Amino acid sequence: MLDGCNRLQTMLRILLRLAVPGVICAALFAFTLSWNEFLYALVFVSPAELKTMTVGVFSELIRGDIYYWGGLMAGACIGSLPIVVAYVFFLDYYVSGLTAGAVK
């Protein structure tokens, strides 16, 4: 095997290191998708304190035919922040992982 590593070591020390940008990319996508997830949370969760943000904002700030537009939009604003932060933070990591791994 490579440089005296066995198969597991090769995977952990070399392959995984090389794949870090890809892993981060996949993690970002997974996080975004599950953060925005709506349907399952809407169907399966009913106690108010257990709701996720997407469902909570939707179900508590629309009462009957009254839309609390300000509150809805405020919730959407705060809700979009973690995604933005995650992307900004990991973008650096992602780029540095790329250049560190490349043959220069």
Binding site for other proteins (CB under 8 A): 1-2, 7, 10-11, 14-16, 18-19, 21-23, 25-27, 29-31, 33-35, 37, 48-57, 60-61, 68-71, 73-80, 82, 98-99, 101-104
Q: What is the dihedral of CA 70, 63, 45, 75, to 10 degrees?
A: 0
Q: Is the dihedral of CA 90, 85, 43, 39 positive or negative?
A: negative
Nearest approach, Cβ of residue 28 and other proteins (Å): 9
In terms of residues, how long is the chain? 104
Nearest approach, Cβ of residue 66 and other proteins (Å): 11
